[in-house]
Amino acid sequence: DTEVTQTPKHLVMGMTNKKSLKCEQHMGHRAMYWYKQKAKKPPELMFVYSYEKLSINESVPSRFSPECPNSSLLNLHLHALQPEDSALYLCASSQGDRDYNEQFFGPGTRLTVL
Amino acid sequence: AQSVTQPDIHITVSEGASLELRCNYSYGATPYLFWYVQSPGQGLQLLLKYFSGDTLVQGIKGFEAEFKRSQSSFNLRKPSVHWSDAAEYFCAVVGGGAQKLVFGQGTRLTINP
């Protein structure tokens, strides 16, 4: 299995809702990432987990809460989001946490906040 | 800090024509460089990568890229494009032990039939 899966594909939520995005990989990778991508822009790094520990948080607002329950699974919990948080949320994984470890991306979750 | 510049926001080429997408990076040491492709509404797929060694790198789908340290460039090429190559192309760099992929702004490729 050489892919990263993300669910759901699309999510519409109100500003008072709580929802979660899920990412899964079965490649034995030990680093996992969340990116946010606005329309016509490149992805921007949000969080990095290395060996199930949060290693990088790019000053993301607390309404985004990541979780890594095990080495194959990465969640992003969403609460009290704003309309400007509408974007494509991409998950990625890599074999390790070295710079030369290429990142494999999932198809993304298209989030719309009303 | 490292950065990447893709000077061309949008490029249009005819099917069967050759293609070159430009990428310039800024990084003090030898960078790790990547080219990714993204179809509309999809995730990113790695086309090729450069770490060290041979400066001409072969990738998937018939793409290649050449690392030129003197020009701080890592341009992507394909000798003959196909309509299925229409997509957004991102050049990216990582370095300094930060695990952070820094992307260029992307180049949107349109193919004329």
Interface list for chain A against chain B, based on CB atoms closer than 8 Å: 4, 6, 31, 40-43, 45, 48, 50, 55-56, 88, 90, 92, 97-100, 102-108, 110
pLDDT digits (tens, 9 = 90+) for A78-90: 999 999 999 999 9
Residue B30 has pLDDT above 80, yes or no: no
pLDDT confidence of residue B98: 64
pLDDT confidence of residue A101: 84
Q: Is B40 on the interface with A (CB under 8 A)?
A: no
HEC per residue, chain A:
CCCEEEECCEEEECCCCEEEEEEEECCCCCEEEEEEECCCCCCEEEEEEECCEEEEECCCCCCEEEEEEECCEEEEEEECCCHHHCEEEEEEEECCCCCCCCCEECCCEEEEEC
pLDDT confidence of residue B99: 75
Chain-chain contact of A50 with B99 (C-beta, under 8 angstroms): yes
Q: Tally C-beta pairs within 8 A across A and B.
A: 56
Residue B96 has pLDDT above 70, yes or no: no
What is the average pLDDT across B54-69?
95
CB contacts, 8 Å: A45 with chain B: 100-101
pLDDT confidence of residue A51: 93
pLDDT digits (tens, 9 = 90+) for B47-61: 999 988 889 999 999
pLDDT confidence of residue A1: 61
pLDDT digits (tens, 9 = 90+) for A21-79: 999 999 999 999 999 999 999 999 999 999 999 998 888 999 999 999 999 999 999 99
Residue B1 has pLDDT above 80, yes or no: no
